[in-house]
Structure 1
Amino acid sequence: MWNLVILDDDTRARRRLAAALTGQYGHLVQSRPVAAAGGVLADLVRRANPKPDAIIIDPASSDVDAPALIAMLRHGSGRPVLAITAAPPSPAVATAADALLPKPCSPAALHALLGAVLRRARPRPLIAGHLTADLATRTATLHGRPLRLTRAEFDLLARLLARPGAIVPRTALSDGGSVDVILSRLRAKLGETAGRPHYLHTHRGRGVAVRVPG
């Protein structure tokens, strides 16, 4: 399962791709017009926010500086940016993007290209002691044993592991739902409690930090 962002001013095409990538392949997809790229960039530069696995954009669907926008998205996310466009891409766009696909494209073709690109750009796992989160596969292990985490639990864990030792404010730990509930469920799966923490340490009024047990 991948976390994807689609930026396209063609609402119908954008929603069709998002629905197919979600329904057929089980990915998490944010679908926005290119005009919303500023908000996406703002989210990307917040260090506590999890980064998408890839960004898909139609750079010809808006009058923005497409190569510059693609470069900013790549820099902000540290992840691949795929360009899909009906018009022949400019050399600058072709150079800026990690991959190109003609539009319209089938969900199957896009999914296959995403897989190839992400295999080349697979991020390193986040590790603290014997606790690991693999952002590419969205899986986590403790002492080598898989943890069965919900999306919210994995996202919270990844945000903490991305900043080991740092106290992450509660407002940065969840996109929705109660942080306390998600944190409690995650602690139970790690075999710890708030009163007897091993990895997840709460700092009252400040936030939560992940630390390697001594």
Structure 2
Amino acid sequence: MEDDETIARAVRHRLTAEGFDVRAVGDGEAALAAYARSRPDVVVLDRLLPGLDGLEVCRRMQAARPVPVLMLTALAEETDLLVGLGVGADDYMTKPFSMRELVARVHALLRRVERASQLAGPDTVIRVGDVEIDVAERRVYTRGAEAQLTRTEFDLLCRMAERPGQVFERERLLSDIWGFSEAAATRTVDSHVRALRRKLGPGVVRTVHGVGYALVRP
């Protein structure tokens, strides 16, 4: 879902070559219609679509039926990226971007969905301090109130909750959650941690400067 025909054509061609069945549209209303009709496994969504912008399209998609969303944006400001994560985007890439990296991130989103379905047992609940994670239902509660996390935020929290107190390097989290490890892309991890702190409170995830992050163990 991309309004720039050159970019849309390139993305469609590359994903098709990778074996994906691709549907491409150029505006927000058409994106929602195609989403309802095709029920895709993953969505690559431009932030600046004509008509309904990508943020509103993403919000409506997630309200109708949650789906992994990779958002493309020409806006590199962190505030804009956090807004995208807040409406349900799981990952983002700033233009210009590498087609090879785009394919890697799409595959990583799909692997996370598959892994989550395999790991979710009927009675799997993780509790760390005031945070309770229901893995099977993919729900998170803090002090009894449900926190609305995106798919990626949930996976990131679960990964750190496996070993509370352990410090996870940014590169390791990038590899475990996003499926690739590049030092230049660790800003992705930082943005998602900031989103977690905004939703769960500032004392849940600890920063170890120059290394990475750890879930605070009470």
TM-score class, shorter-chain normalisation, is 0.3 to 0.5
TM-score by length of structure 1 reads 0.46
Q: Of Structure 1 and Structure 2, which has the larger fraction of its residues in helix?
A: 2
TM-score by length of structure 2 reads 0.45
From the CA coordinates, give the structure whose radius of gyration is larger. 1
